[in-house]
Amino acid sequence: MSDPADIFNKIPELNHEETLKDVSPESFDNIINNRRSVRVYTEEKIPAEVTQKVLEWALLAPNSSNLQCWEFYWVQDPKKKAELVKALFNQPAARTAQELIVAVAKLKTWKPHRRQMLDLFNSTHQKIPTSARAYYEKLVPVVYNQGPMGIFGPFKRIFISAAGLFRPVPREPKSIADMRVWSHKTTALACENIMLGFSAYGYDTCPMEGHDSARVKKILGLGCESEICMVISAGKRAKNGVYGPRIRFPSEQFIKKI
């Protein structure tokens, strides 16, 4: 039986190839630079097919172990939308938006999604590396299962610290807090796809962390295993939609060459 750890360091013998689409750094540069946090939108509607496509692009974002620990709520019901705006403190970026999308990080969907991956392996005619199958069968439950109320955490810390004395080991997630970080990182990657996707269509967005998370979860009917990552508003920017020029500190302050 293959060692689950082989998935990290062994190159599988596969012949899968994909045809790459033509790209342009100039076009991407325009998309990146056009994206601003827009606070006021016009009344111009966004075609539903545009928002649908952007959300599908979100699902193409990279994510940890392909466990896809995210959900995106496209709030269309007028009553729920009004409640959501109120939970967002009635800020202009929410109040004037044509669309509101709530990005939700999921802490426990790793279990059914792990099973879903194994079911896909069993149903496909493509060759699946034995290390990949072993990874989902053996390693994923050990890594992501924190036990009831995080009871496995202290034991994981001891084991990881001891093993780490002799070789490199994955040190997280080893607690429910780590699972929150894990799920939010993945969901935030998809959120960037949403914002750049709208920018590619010529629309604007604003990622909002200023919200009453308990009220947002109640509006969406979510339980304690769900975390509100951010709410993204979208629309066409008004003339006063951007409050000032983009401010970034010198790149040398953040990009370290070692």
Residue type, 75: V
Q: Is the pLDDT of residue 3 over 90?
A: no
Q: Which two tokens stand for residue 168?
A: 């490199």
Model confidence, pTM: 0.93
Task: Please determine, for residue 223, whether its predicted confidence score (pLDDT) is greater than 90.
Answer: yes
Q: What is the pLDDT of residue 2?
A: 65
Average of pLDDT values for 177-201? 98
Alpha-carbon span 66 to 199, nearest angstrom:
26
Q: Which residues contact residue 26 at a Cβ distance below 8 angstroms, ignoring those fewer than 6 apart?
A: none
Secondary structure letter of residue 103 according to DSSP: E
Residue 163, pLDDT > 70, answer yes
